[in-house]
Amino acid sequence: MQTHLNDNCPKAPNSAKTKSTKILELPVPSINEISSQSSAAKKPKKNLKTQALFAAGIPFSSLENNYIIQFFQRLRPAFKLPNRKKLANELFDDVFDEVKAKCNEQILQAKSLTMVSDGWSNINRELVQNFVICTPKPLFFDTIYSGCNSHIINLLIGDILKIDQIKTVMENAKKLVNYFKVHIQAAAKLKRIQKDNYNKEIALNLPVLT
């Protein structure tokens, strides 16, 4: 190509001639290098394939459909689809662990966190609860079968109160409430301040088990 550009294309820019020279000088990978690169790329492609199947919500049974199998074999004869059993077990666990690790990493790096939950019932009328961790980039964290939707908030708050920092705040709040319950003059002064600032009295209550 360089000879053609030099002899027959005098108006060709020098940059094109230089690029053609550089392309010709690129080393050609050996068979061993190609084999090594292919082996190294197998796992990411495998994960990408399974992630695509899960994310698209494709039924596992479709992987055993003859037309689907023939379609992928026509595209690439060496390509093999996993069977539904392997997809639902080994491959599912691999993708779950990978995604979970990425979520945990982003949670640890986040400067602020907010947990959001919502629930519904599945096709078997079982109550399901979703948990989303909101960082600067929202993450779907977990989904659980609650079994008892009426007490899910109480159970959730109970777990949150077991966190050391939250537990300390709650204990200090209890001490503060008990102080005003015991000291009548301090409680009366607090009520006057509440009326001056909020035009109403705000009762101080202690938490109880439900």
Q: Residue 141 pLDDT > 70, yes or no? A: no
- Gap between the Cα atoms of 117 and 128, Å rounded: 10
**pTM of whole model > 0.85?**
no
CA distance 8 to 12: 9
**CA neighbours within 13 Å on the CB side: how many for 12?**
17
Contact in structure between 67 and 95 (CB atoms under 8 Å): no
Do 195 and 201 form a contact (C-beta atoms < 8 A)? yes
- pLDDT number for residue 14: 62
Q: State the amino acid at position 47 in one-letter form.
A: N
d(CA 85, CA 64): 11
- In this prediction, residues 87-106 reach a mean pLDDT of 86
Q: How confident is the model at residue 193 (pLDDT cuts 50, 70, 90)?
A: very high
pLDDT at 168 over 50: yes
**Does the pLDDT of residue 114 top 50, yes or no?**
yes
Q: What's residue 63's pLDDT?
A: 82
Report the amino acid identity of residue 12: A
Q: Which residue has the tokens 């959001």?
A: 116
Per the CB < 8 A criterion, the answer to whether 85 and 97 are in contact is no
| Mean pLDDT for the stretch of residues 106-118 | 81
Give φ, ψ of 78 to 5 degrees: -80, -10
